[in-house]
Amino acid sequence: MQNPILNHPDELTEITPEAELLFNEVSPYLKPEDLALLKSAYFFGQKAHAGQFRKSGEPYISHPVTVARILGELRLDMVTLAAALLHDVVEDTGIQKQEISERFGFSVAELVDGVSKLDKIRFQTKADMQAENFRKMLLAMAQDVRVILIKLADRLHNMRTLEVMSSEKQHRIAQETLEIYAPIAHRLGLENIYQELQELGFRFSYPTRYKVLLKATRAARGNRREIVGKILEAIKLRLQETGLDATVTGREKHLYSIYKKMVEKHLSFSDVLDIYGFRVVVRDVSSCYVALGALHGLYKPIPGKFKDYIAIPKQNGYQSLHSTLLGPYGLPIEVQIRTYEMHHIAETGVASHWLYKSKDIDAGMNELHMKANQWMKGLLETLNDSSDSLEFLEHLKVDLFPGEVYVFTPQGKILTLPRGSTTVDFAYAVHTDVGNCCVAARINGEISPLRTRLRSGDRVEIITAPAAKPNPVWLSYVATGRARSSIRYFLRTIQYSESVKLGERLLNQALYAFGVNPETVEPAQWEKLIRECGVKSREALLADIALGKQLAAVLAKRLVVPGESVSNTSGKSSITILGTEGMTVRFARCCYPIPGDGIVGLIKKDQGLVIHTQDCPAVVKIKDHKNMDNQLDVVWGAEIDRTFPVSIFTTVVNKSGVLARVTAEIAKADSNVDDITLENDKDYTTMRFILQTRDRQHLAQIFRRLKHIGEIVKMGRIKNQ
């Protein structure tokens, strides 16, 4: 096949020393024809960027060349390297994607387009623009993982040269690197890039702290070099005695790792630095376990500090045995034991696909890429479910978690979830339909509530009901972006009609308060208001009112037609609550209002109308701050046919069987117990219940029955959770 660049000879043929290094580094594994095409891409990029310079004063072409060199260290293919050399030509020059496709092929052009930013589109804020950039980049990444590999290399070189930027830009870019790019590199198993991005992000985010820690580690390193050397020799000697051919190296802790441990665990510098790291690399899997036994014989293992990532690999394909040992002088020692193949995967992650072609580890590569593709597929689902880019970026940050738990399905399949995940997260990880219909779960055979946090090793079975629906409360405790976006998607779509109805009631109430009959508002007034608010329809505007995105009072005032007011209609100024409004009306869990209570409605953004008791601290706080724009007058309907949760407490004398007697009396009063917590003292126990009641009269009946129990010394309703 004829090289397309030969039809378009370039004038520039100068190869810089750095470009020469690139070609020398990749020539051992690239075919001659691929190397020729790579040089053509270099000349094309050099010509396109002619006259452009970086802030450091270097010719701009030096940046894409360095990006390609970083990827060359991962031994990536020619298409990726060519796209790296051209990744800025669409964004920074007049070159179009079509021309790149004609010269270097469709694949190169697609990668370049995936990396390019959206500078030609107008956004309301910088945050919107940056979020949309991530959205587009990750959409392209879901099609081809090489997009993110180029972007990570691009970010790494930008971080290496960040000192030429203003301090404000340094901090912003460094924070973005720590929050997004470094975790993505870690998730894809690119350990070296991950570590360097973290270190540089820390250096520019917290320059003073970085300098202090750097100085302290350099001082400590000299003092402890002898101890580390002795431990290293002892490990080598023990492995030799066991007959193992192993490579042993000592690892220094990275500054950001030290800083994170100091902050998270409230430790001093000396406490963190006392943990030494050593890596043992052996021939095969069986040798890993032999080496583990040998080292456990040399130094005592610390209980609870052993992890087998060979039997259960991490989500990014990482495999290793981790053990913490008690070394000489009582110093903790972290040891990682892995095979050479595992070590290469740990260093290069998904990029290993292009580095290794042997049949021996082909299965491992396939599994690694399958896991990466599953994660990216999940991102794509989140992308489709998210209404805007900022929401997607929020989900992405949630998913780039630092820790993981490993849980089992009833069939024995392992699912990896972020630390802090609940049974709802597990349900959505199984399938969106399972999450939408879940009502409870069995964890290790025992019925557990949906908010239960999962631990590694838990066996989870989800209980579903066909009529069940997602609850907005779930958003307060789910940990995964997939669960959060699926719940929000359901609430936005399935509950849209309910939101429209509630929004209309709220707006009508506000119009009556201004003395205007809603039926007298002219269509022209509505059309004008819809245009001014930037929504598509009257229904969309009403839904925004119900979800707290627009204030009914403000919109009503803008709809008022001068001179066409009517007297306020009695009884129309309050919203009537029947308890059947659906998910657009919620009953606050801080005060648990029930029929008979004086109530107030508060509009909360993305939550709709939340009903509180009038004496609830949340309402009192709003009144104290005189911020009552979101407060609505609400009243209970005359006939309400449902039960409501209410929170009560009983303090009892510690005697056998009291709890059973209390719950029996509650049942006799025709009430169910939803939840119970106990707080023990030496002589007394305080029981806190969440019960189902019809109204205040029903609650009074329950208290009258409880008075028959002599062991109860105090009881009452809880309104301040």
CATH number of the domain bearing residue 480: 3.10.20.30
Q: Using the predicted structure, report yes or no on whether residue 3 has a pLDDT greater than 60.
A: no
Q: Are residues 561 and 666 in the same domain?
A: no
Residue 65 confidence (pLDDT): 94
- The number of distinct structural domains making up the chain is 5
User: Is the residue at 121 inside a domain?
Assistant: yes
Residue 497 confidence (pLDDT): 76
Residue 38 confidence (pLDDT): 93
Q: Are residues 648 and 606 in the same domain?
A: no
Residue 22 confidence (pLDDT): 92
pLDDT single digits (tens) 540-592: 888 888 766 776 776 887 787 443 433 343 334 567 787 766 656 788 888 99
What whole-number percentage of the chain has pLDDT above 90? 27
Catalytic position from the list 58, 77, 91, 695: 91
Which amino acid is located at 562 in the chain? P
Nearest to 660 by CA among 673, 641, 646: 673
Q: Which of 441, 473, 493 is the last residue of a domain?
A: 493
- What is the number of other CB atoms lying within 10 angstroms of the CB of residue 252? 13
User: Is the residue at 371 inside a domain?
Assistant: no
Mean pLDDT of all residues in 114-127 = 52
User: Is the residue at 704 inside a domain?
Assistant: yes
Q: Using the predicted structure, report yes or no on whether residue 199 has a pLDDT greater than 90.
A: yes
CATH number at residue 334: 3.30.460.10
Q: Are residues 64 and 198 in the same domain?
A: yes
Residue 713 confidence (pLDDT): 92
Residue 716 confidence (pLDDT): 93
pLDDT single digits (tens) 397-419: 555 544 567 788 888 787 878 77
User: Is the residue at 114 inside a domain?
Assistant: yes
Task: Please answer whether residues 274 and 332 qualify as being in contact, where contact means their C-beta atoms are separated by less than 8 angstroms.
Answer: yes
User: Is the residue at 415 inside a domain?
Assistant: yes
Q: Are residues 67 and 168 in the same domain?
A: yes
Residue 389 confidence (pLDDT): 52
Residue 247 confidence (pLDDT): 92
Nearest to 152 by CA among 82, 76, 67, 254: 67
Please name the residue that has the structure tokens 């095979």: 339
Task: Please answer whether residues 447 and 483 qualify as being in contact, where contact means their C-beta atoms are separated by less than 8 angstroms.
Answer: no
Mean pLDDT of all residues in 3-31 = 72
Q: Which of 179, 207, 235 is the last residue of a domain?
A: 207
- Measured distance CA(232)–CA(244) in Å, rounded: 15
- Measured distance CA(459)–CA(442) in Å, rounded: 8
Q: Are residues 414 and 487 in the same domain?
A: yes
User: Is the residue at 61 inside a domain?
Assistant: yes
Q: Are residues 518 and 578 in the same domain?
A: yes
Q: Are residues 707 and 609 in the same domain?
A: no
Q: Which of 636, 662, 679 is the last residue of a domain?
A: 636
Mean pLDDT of all residues in 623-642 = 72
Please name the residue that has the structure tokens 């009502």: 439
Residue 548 confidence (pLDDT): 66
Nearest to 286 by CA among 246, 346, 317, 323: 246
At 450, list the tokens.
């949906």
Q: Are residues 489 and 500 in the same domain?
A: no
Q: Are residues 566 and 484 in the same domain?
A: no
Nearest to 361 by CA among 350, 353, 370: 353
CATH number at residue 35: 1.10.3210.10
- Measured distance CA(616)–CA(599) in Å, rounded: 9
Average pLDDT over the chain, rounded to an integer:
80
User: Is the residue at 450 inside a domain?
Assistant: yes
Q: Rounded to 5 degrees, what angle do the CA atoms 464, 470, 476 make? A: 120
Q: Are residues 630 and 651 in the same domain?
A: no
Residue 234 confidence (pLDDT): 92
CATH number at residue 666: 3.30.70.260
The pTM is what? Answer: 0.55
- HSE of 627, CA atoms in CB hemisphere, 13 A: 8
Q: Are residues 588 and 616 in the same domain?
A: yes
Q: Which residues contact 219 (CB under 8 A, 6 or more apart)?
A: none
- Measured distance CA(579)–CA(581) in Å, rounded: 6
pLDDT single digits (tens) 656-690: 888 889 988 998 999 988 888 888 877 889 999 99
Q: Are residues 288 and 176 in the same domain?
A: no
Mean pLDDT of all residues in 312-339 = 84
Is 91 a catalytic site residue? Answer: yes
What whole-number percentage of the chain has pLDDT above 70? 80
Task: Please answer whether residues 362 and 355 qualify as being in contact, where contact means their C-beta atoms are separated by less than 8 angstroms.
Answer: no
Range of the domain at 585: 496-636
User: Is the residue at 391 inside a domain?
Assistant: no
Catalytic position from the list 92, 113, 176, 461: 92
pLDDT single digits (tens) 237-281: 999 999 999 999 887 778 888 888 888 777 777 777 556 789 999
Q: Which residues contact 453 (CB under 8 A, 6 or more apart)?
A: 420, 421, 422
